[in-house]
Amino acid sequence: MPFTRTLAKPTFQMSNEKNSPAPALPSNFLRAIVDHDQAAGTHVRAGMPSVITRFPPEPNGYLHIGHAKSICLNFGLARDYQGRCNLRFDDTNPAKEEQEYVDTIIDSVKWLGFDYDYPSADGGVEHHLHYASDYFDQLYAMAEYLIGKGYAYVDSQSADDMAANRGNFNTPGKNSPFRDRPREESLQIFRDMKAGKYADGEHILRAKISEDAMSSPNMNMRDPAIYRIRHAHHVRTGDAWCIYPMYDYTHPISDALENITHSLCTLEFQDHRPFYDWLLETLAEGGFFTLPLPRQYEFSRLNLTYVVTSKRKLRQLVEDGIVSGWDDPRMPTIVGLRRRGYTPEAIQLFCERIGVTKSDGWIDMSTLEGCLREDLDPKAPRATAVLRPLKLIIDNYPEGQSEECTSPVHPHHPEMGVRTFPITRELWIEEEDFMEVPSKGYFRYAPPIDDKPGSRVRLRHGYVTECTGFDKDENGKVVAVHVNYFPDSKSGTPGSDNYKVKGNIHWVSAATALQAEVRLFDRLFTDAQPDAGGKEFLSLLNPNAKEVVTAYLEPGMSAAQPDQRFQFERHGYFVADRVDSSAGKPVFNRIVTLKDSFVAK
């Protein structure tokens, strides 16, 4: 049964220096494999590192948090063993691929802190950005070799007949009537397929692994398709090709051509490994590759609560207008997390913290959010923001007067300096900092009741004040709170400690505050596993996943730059939106609350 876990903190820290060595990290089964190979000299080859991995995305969508785990794993292993990691696009399905996806994937990998450029032996730079389409000529030549050796044949069955004859997990498949087609005939048809003489789906090239392959208990070994006809324009090769290799054929050959040592895949590819090994061993016998060959290893994919990572479902969220785009801050895409305000270091820390195993399980969203808070807390400058404003009037404070108050930019890092902001007669405070009829244990503003005076509250970094009354509008809503201040109570001045109050609230000057749009983001779904067990994921959307408020911020926040992160004291961590912010007019996104306060409905 899948489980949910919240993990303890390790004792290491991540680095965002691109591909730079990291501190010693906890071991896992993949590191144990690499350590064994290192000790045995399994992949020692002249002029090449003994650890070469790859991250091989398809350029048909935006990367998400699950891909981040694979990126950190592949690039991280290469970094830690002084190897290299290639970025390779599996661009073998031109109907679904776009340059937009190539560009955003490259950008996401680099933003996460990794790169595919490495120093060369001659002091230059080796570029290890690759495309499966780089190998189309070699892939085709190897396919012809397989046909000539009787390891592949052209099948002319319809798609329906092929599916029916494949069988299922309980029923052996049936040989295609074209399985024993003469090799010369299959080779000629395959060449005619390449020449564009046939329509899509008219023929397909299949592997013939053994005489009894169609009765294999592993469905992936039942004469898998390795080439299909697809008359589609390719982003890189144009119209040069109208046949394209299948992923299971392209993937191992690309690994071997790039001298990959450890090919890391998620567990759904475990049953594909026998074909991976058979194909490379067969081609090595034909002289295409030399030993040692790449080896495939599988690890569990990331299952994170409160998100969906299916490309189809993410695309539906975008195309149905449920979110504003692939970079909507509620999306689990890397561009969405980046716009939300997540940091590369937090994501790297999360990926190390959850570890690498071969057993499926669920990681609670609170683990990711905890890594984010851990990363932001020591480096985010503090700021004051009033999100749900209520006017506060200091009746005995002179009109037109203004005094500077100061506060540290960060309470634990005095080297970051101080920030200043004025106190004036009229301020903004939070609505929740006043109660007409206070509940037990409430220490913020409350009016005089009977012969009992109003409550005393300290304006943080300012004066102690005493509530004297409040105003309501025609609908009975409180619109202003009235107080008097004590001139000798200003924070940091002699005698201010003579005032003992339990309430201490934040505020901003109504005269100088920056009015700003603030978006309060939360989890996109109310259910921890919104697409598990046949659930209709759209019925589980969180209606409170986005709330837009007009807030008032301390005046210095007008200088906030896009992507600059802050802790709004008492509220959480926020970032100036990288898309909608402009000079002097930042728009803020809530990254995460100060504490885990999410309650599933």
Is the distance from CB of 209 to CB of 223 less than 8 angstroms? yes
| Alpha helix ranges (H) inside 41-179 | 65-80, 99-111, 136-148, 159-165
Distance between CA atoms of 559 and 581, rounded to whole angstroms?
Answer: 11
pTM of the prediction? 0.91
- Range 221-247 burial, b when 16+ CB lie within 10 A, else e: bbbbebbbbbeeebbbeeeebbbbbbb
Q: Classify domain 387-509 at the CATH class level.
A: mainly beta
The pLDDT, as a whole number, for residue 11 is 35
The pLDDT, as a whole number, for residue 7 is 39
Question: Residue 428: beta bridge partners?
Answer: 391, 508
Tell whether the torsion through CA atoms of 131, 136, 142 and 147 is positive or negative.
positive
Catalytic annotation, residues: 58, 301, 311
Could you tell me which residues come within 8 angstroms of residue 8 by beta carbon, excluding any fewer than 6 positions away?
A: none
Question: Residue 388: beta bridge partners?
Answer: none
Q: Which amino acid type is present at position 313? A: K
Question: Residue 459: beta bridge partners?
Answer: 505
Q: Exposed, middle or buried, 370 (CB in 10 Å: 0-12/13-18/19+)?
A: buried
Quick one: tokens of 212? 């009894």
Is the distance from CB of 578 to CB of 563 less than 8 angstroms? yes
Every domain of the chain with CATH number 3.40.50.620 lies at 4-112+252-303+343-373
Expressed in percent and rounded to 5, the helix, strand and coil fractions of the chain are 30, 25, 45
Q: Determine how many CB atoms are found less than 10 A away from the CB of residue 202.
A: 13
Is the distance from CB of 152 to CB of 286 less than 8 angstroms? no
Instruction: Give the architecture-level CATH label for domain 136-245.
Output: Alpha-Beta Complex (3.90)
Q: Give the HSE-up count for residue 479: Cα atoms under 13 Å, Cβ half-sphere.
A: 7
Is the distance from CB of 403 to CB of 538 less than 8 angstroms? no
Distance between CA atoms of 49 and 118, rounded to whole angstroms?
Answer: 11
Q: Which amino acid type is present at position 463? A: Y
Angle between helices 65-80 and 99-111 (to 10 degrees): 60
Q: Determine how many CB atoms are found less than 10 A away from the CB of residue 154.
A: 22
* Per-residue pLDDT tens over the stretch 469-482: 999 999 999 999 99
Q: Which strands, in side-by-side order, build the sheet including 225-229?
A: 152-155, 204-207, 225-229, 243-245
Distance between CA atoms of 22 and 561, rounded to whole angstroms?
Answer: 30
SS3 letters across 487-530:
HHHCCCCCCHHHCCCCEEECCEECCCCEEEEEEEECCCECCCCC
The separation between CA 368 and the C-alpha centre of its own chain, rounded to angstroms, equals 10
The pLDDT, as a whole number, for residue 331 is 98
Q: Is 289 helix (H, G, I), strand (E, B) or coil?
A: coil
What is the number of helices (H) and of strands (E) in the chain?
12, 29
For 39, 198, 277, 359, the CA distances from 34, given in Å and listed in that order, are: 9, 46, 18, 19
Could you tell me which residues come within 8 angstroms of residue 465 by beta carbon, excluding any fewer than 6 positions away?
A: 394, 456, 457, 458, 459, 483, 484, 485, 486
Every domain of the chain with CATH number 2.40.240.10 lies at 387-509, 514-593
Instruction: Give the architecture-level CATH label for domain 4-112+252-303+343-373.
Output: 3-Layer(aba) Sandwich (3.40)
Every domain of the chain with CATH number 3.90.800.10 lies at 136-245
Question: Which residues of the chain are under the pLDDT cut of 50?
Answer: 1-16, 21-23, 601
Closest CA to 386 of 330, 418, 416, 426: 426
CATH number of 514-593: 2.40.240.10
Could you tell me which residues come within 8 angstroms of residue 418 by beta carbon, excluding any fewer than 6 positions away?
A: 406, 407, 408, 409
Distance between CA atoms of 534 and 208, rounded to whole angstroms?
Answer: 36
Distance between CA atoms of 25 and 356, rounded to whole angstroms?
Answer: 12
Is the distance from CB of 186 to CB of 154 less than 8 angstroms? yes
